Amino acid sequence: MTWAVYCAVLPDGWFVESGTYSLANGGELEVSYNGPGDAHFAIIEGNACEQFGSDINACAPRDRVTGRAAFGDQMGELGQLSSALVLDVDRGANPMWRATGLGMSEADFLAISAGMLRVGRSG
């Protein structure tokens, strides 16, 4: 990818549920994880909004913003979407980074999001 790729560093009890990537149109990476108590954590990175055109709310929906939080070495907007937690860095841009957590505490979500490891480009 031409943009920084991040991977989750998860505690024991988590595993990859699914993952896909595409190199077309700038690239896109999606990975979802399943954890203890049926918790879910998912990331989407890259050109995730291309299929939605200019509709940022369809691409990266959220009900409200609740603050700022770390996504690895980047800062993003923390919010909620129904019962899920979301964290967006450069929401709607190409590239963008988004984490979503469901069935987990905000503290656990923030810890996993902050622990995202940059494995790609430095810029």
Q: Domain containing 35 — which CATH number?
A: 3.30.200
Q: Are 99 and 41 in contact (CB under 8 A)?
A: yes
Indicate the average pLDDT of the chain. 91
Task: Tell me if 106 is assigned to some domain.
Answer: yes
122: confidence class by pLDDT, cuts 50, 70, 90: low
| C-alpha torsion sign, points 82, 89, 77, 114 | positive
Task: Tell me if 53 is assigned to some domain.
Answer: yes
The per-residue pLDDT for range 17-37, each reduced to its tens digit, is: 999 999 988 899 999 999 999
For residue 58, the model assigns a pLDDT of 79
53 versus 102: which is more confidently predicted? 102
Task: Kindly state the DSSP code that residue 17 receives in the 8-state scheme.
Answer: E
Number of separate domains in the chain: 1
Backbone angles phi, psi at 60, to 5 degrees: -135, 70
